[in-house]
Amino acid sequence: MTDARPPRQAVRTLQARKRIALIAHDGKKTEMLEWATRWQDTLGQHTLIGTGTTAGRLKKALGLEVEGLMSGPLGGDQQIGARIAEQKLDVLIFFWDPFAPQPHDPDVKALLRLAALWNVPIASNAASADFLLSSPYLNERYEMAIPDAAAWAQARSQ
């Protein structure tokens, strides 16, 4: 058994059209809708997914095409986390509520851990989401470092 960290980094290239996850806890959904309204045109140029209720609210209020997964408390955070682990998500916009404990707090923590691990850009509030969406990288290919999963597995199976 070797060091419990991936021994090497690999390169992942994000395409110009990003796959963006949109998630908001109930206490933050109004803020998310207001923010998404301001960024509606930009969001419409990318591929959007979201947890069930957030996705439904965005579709209804803004007419945006958003793939809806399970609602968060029913496993939606875990589904988004799986997309991250499979390198199928590029940006995470997650307005989590710092005032409301969630029944699925472990799922939320797991999602945030995977996003940190896989170097996925995260915005937790409207200002950081403004910065992310106004980045020149949003509409360009972008190369980033990620853990080398194959090297990790190989090192641990010696």
Residue stretches of the annotated binding site: 25, 29, 51-54, 71-72, 104
Is 79 a residue that touches ligand 13P (CB under 6 A)? no
**Distance between start and end Cα atoms, the chain:** 7
What are the C-alpha distances in Å from 119 to residues 3, 48, 134, 146?
20, 19, 19, 6
Which of residues 6 and 72 has its CB atom nearest to ligand 13P in the complex? 72
Within 83-136, strands assigned E span: 91-95, 122-123
Which of residues 77 and 90 has its CB atom nearest to ligand 13P in the complex? 77
Instruction: Look up 26 and say whether it is catalytic.
Output: no
Which of residues 88 and 109 has its CB atom nearest to ligand 13P in the complex? 109
| Structure tokens given for 87 | 């390198």
The answer to whether 49 and 66 have CB atoms below 8 angstroms apart is yes
Is 121 a residue that touches ligand 13P (CB under 6 A)? no
Kind of pairing between the strands at 19-24 and 47-50: parallel
Among 6, 52, 81, 121, binds ligand 13P (CB under 6 A): 52
Is 25 a residue that touches ligand 13P (CB under 6 A)? yes
Return residues touching ligand 13P (CB under 6 A).
23, 25, 51-54, 71-73, 76-77, 102, 108
